[in-house]
Amino acid sequence: MSLRTIRTLFSASAALLLIIGCGGEESKQEPPKAAEQPAPKAAPKGEEGNKIVEQVDEDGKGMRITATKPNGTTFQASIGEQVAIPEEFPKDVPVFPGSTPMASLFSPDEGVIVTFKSTEDQQAIYDFYQTSLAKDGWDVKPGESENNLLTLEARKANRTISITVGGLTGDSRVSVIVTTEK
């Protein structure tokens, strides 16, 4: 998968997360009981021999998918009310204080993506990233502001960060994409 493909897919996913996560009512439906939860399952191997394992959290509020290629390369995705930040998320990329990770993707070939939610104002979050990244030696280039979305891109050595901040007042979403040129 090329960098262009992952950015296109992520942009669509980020837009969907921003739309789904903003301003909607919380579901009143009870999560399935642990006994009703499906056990982690391996999907049939795909055309290329990829092995896919899906796992739903016991409380029904999240899920993880791991896909392994025949060569051992692993792709991981998680979504839920609160997910773990992948170990591969760079230590020199800041996380907005008080934000909660709600989705993550990791591919050794493509990079890492984490989407956070926050109750803070979008402009405050954007300013935090712009200031923090510049202070940490990243070359920051502000992007365009359109339809309540604020964007910026930053480079450091062979890595690029793309950040999109959007949502509604008091219900912000922050998508952080980190890629490495090889």
Question: How much is the pLDDT for 24?
Answer: 37
Distance set, CA 137 to CA 17, 29, 75, 130 (Å): 30, 47, 29, 11
pLDDT confidence tier of residue 171, bands split at 50, 70 and 90: very high
How do residues 78-127 score in pLDDT, each as one tens digit?
999 889 999 999 999 999 999 999 999 999 888 999 999 999 999 999 99
Question: How much is the pLDDT for 104?
Answer: 96
How do residues 26-77 score in pLDDT, each as one tens digit?
333 344 444 444 455 444 455 467 899 998 988 888 999 999 988 888 889 9
Paired tokens of 38: 């499906």
